Amino acid sequence: MGKKNTDQNRIILTVFSVLAIFLIIYIVTVTVGLDKASDSKLRDFNGGWTDNSGNSYDIEDVRVDDYGVSSMVSRKLPMNITDGDCLCFESYNVNLDVWIDGVAAYSFKSEENITGLGYGTAYHEVGLSESDAGGTVQIRFERSNLSITSKRGHLENMYVGGAVPYVYMVMRSNLLTVLSSGLIIFFGLVFLLISFVISDNERLPFDVASLGLASLIIGAWLLVLSTVFQLISGHIYIVRNLDRFLILVAGVPLICFFNSLTYKKSRIYPLIEFWLNVVSIAYLLITRFVFGIDMMNTFQKMLILFFGQIIVLTIVIFVRHERYCRTNGIKSGLRFYYVGISAFIIFSLTDYCLYYFKKMIGNTYGTLTSVGTFVLIPIVLVQFIRWWTKDRRVVEIERFTNRALQYALSSDSPDESIRLMLEYMGTELRCKRVIVFEDSHNGRFHGRYAWFDSSLEKKSIDLLYVPYKGAVDRMISSYKENGNRYVLEDVERFKDENPSIYNMLMTYRVENVVANPLEVDGVVTGILLLLDMPANNIDEASSVANLTSYFLSQLILRRDDQKRMRIYTYNDSLSGAQNRRAYDEFVFNRLDLASSFGYMMCTISDLEEISDKGGFEAGDAVIADMVTVMSEVFGKENVFRLAGSRFAAFGFETDETYFYDDVARFEKNAGDKGISVLAGAVYCINGAKDIKTVVKRANEKMKEAIDDASKRRG
Q: Which H helix or E strand runs over 381?
A: helix 367-389
CA-closest candidate to residue 160, choices 231, 221, 75, 217: 75
Left (φ > 0), alpha (ψ -120 to 50) or beta: where does 646 sit? beta
**pLDDT over 70 percentage in the chain:** 84
Q: Which one-letter amino acid corresponds to residue 372?
A: G
Return all residues near 330 (Cβ < 8 A) that are at least 6 apart.
Answer: 263
Q: pLDDT-based confidence at 409, cuts 50/70/90?
A: low
pLDDT at 363 over 60: no
Q: What is the pLDDT of residues 416-425, one digit of tens each?
A: 888 888 888 8
The span from the CA of 218 to the CA of 250, in Å, is 7
Q: Which one-letter amino acid corresponds to residue 463?
A: L
The full set of domain ranges for the chain reads 1-37, 43-172, 175-382, 397-467+510-568, 580-713
CB contact at 8 A, 462 and 446: yes
The span from the CA of 272 to the CA of 277, in Å, is 9
The span from the CA of 22 to the CA of 685, in Å, is 57
Give the pLDDT score at 393.
46
Give the pLDDT score at 663.
93
pLDDT at 10 over 70: no
Give the pLDDT score at 3.
41
Q: pLDDT-based confidence at 463, cuts 50/70/90?
A: low
The span from the CA of 530 to the CA of 142, in Å, is 75
Give the pLDDT score at 31.
53
The span from the CA of 2 to the CA of 600, in Å, is 74
Q: Give the CA dihedral 300, 305, 311, 313, nearest 10 degrees.
A: -150
Q: Which H helix or E strand runs over 98?
A: strand 94-100
42-59 average pLDDT score: 88
The span from the CA of 651 to the CA of 658, in Å, is 9
Q: pLDDT-based confidence at 67, cuts 50/70/90?
A: low
Most confident of 169-178, 422-431, 482-491: 422-431
Q: Give the CA dihedral 4, 6, 8, 10, nearest 10 degrees.
A: -150
Question: Strand order of the sheet with strand 71-76?
Answer: 56-57, 49-50, 71-76, 136-143, 94-100, 103-108
Q: What is the pLDDT of residues 561-574, one digit of tens each?
A: 777 777 777 888 78
Work out the angle at residue 18's Cα, subtended by the Cα atoms of residues 13 and 23, and round it to the nearest 5 degrees. Answer: 120
Q: pLDDT-based confidence at 427, cuts 50/70/90?
A: confident
**pLDDT over 90 percentage in the chain:** 13
Q: pLDDT-based confidence at 373, cuts 50/70/90?
A: confident
672-691 average pLDDT score: 90
Give the pLDDT score at 360.
43
pLDDT at 362 over 80: no
Q: Of residues 16 and 566, which shows the higher confidence score?
A: 566
Query: What is the per-residue DSSP string for 16-47?
Result: HHHHHHHHHHHHHHHHHHHHHH-SPPPEE-SS
pLDDT at 39 over 50: no
H, E, C per residue of 605-664: CCHHHHHHHHCHHHHHHHHHHHHHHHHHHHCHHHEEEEECCEEEEEECCCCHHHHHHHHH
pLDDT at 377 over 50: yes
Give the pLDDT score at 683.
94
The span from the CA of 650 to the CA of 123, in Å, is 61
The span from the CA of 257 to the CA of 259, in Å, is 5
Q: pLDDT-based confidence at 294, cuts 50/70/90?
A: confident
Give the pLDDT score at 241.
83
The span from the CA of 92 to the CA of 142, in Å, is 10
CB contact at 8 A, 641 and 582: no
pLDDT at 600 over 90: yes
Q: Of residues 229 and 81, which shows the higher confidence score?
A: 81
Q: pLDDT-based confidence at 11, cuts 50/70/90?
A: very low
Q: Of residues 306 and 460, which shows the higher confidence score?
A: 306
**Cα-flanking dihedrals φ and ψ of residue 457, to 5°?**
-80, 130
Beta pairing partners, 513? 488, 531
pLDDT at 7 over 60: no
Give the pLDDT score at 203.
64
The span from the CA of 615 to the CA of 612, in Å, is 6
Q: Please give the biggest Cα pair distance in the chain.
A: 109
Burial 569-599 (b: 16+ CB within 10 A, else e): ebbbeebbbbbeebbeebbeeebeeeebbbb
499-506 average pLDDT score: 72
pLDDT at 32 over 60: no
Match domain 580-713 to its CATH number in 3.40.50.720, 3.30.479.10, 3.40.50.300, 3.30.70.270: 3.30.70.270
Give the pLDDT score at 2.
36
Neighbours of 557 (CB within 10 A): 16
Q: What are the angstrom distances between the C-alpha of 45 and each of 48, 122, 137, 152, 190?
A: 8, 18, 11, 20, 44
Q: What is the pLDDT of residues 186-244, one digit of tens each?
A: 888 878 877 777 666 666 778 888 888 988 888 888 888 777 778 877 788 888 888 88
- CA gyration radius for the chain? 36
The span from the CA of 425 to the CA of 417, in Å, is 12
594-617 average pLDDT score: 87
444-456 average pLDDT score: 85
Give the pLDDT score at 694.
92
Beta pairing partners, 76? 136
Fold annotation for 43-172: Jelly Rolls (2.60.120)
Neighbours of 65 (CB within 10 A): 13
Give the pLDDT score at 682.
94
Fold annotation for 397-467+510-568: Beta-Lactamase (3.30.450)
pLDDT at 34 over 70: no
Q: What is the pLDDT of residues 623-633, one digit of tens each?
A: 999 999 999 99
Most confident of 4-13, 92-101, 485-494: 92-101
Neighbours of 671 (CB within 10 A): 12
Q: pLDDT-based confidence at 104, cuts 50/70/90?
A: very high
**Cα-flanking dihedrals φ and ψ of residue 144, to 5°?**
-75, -25
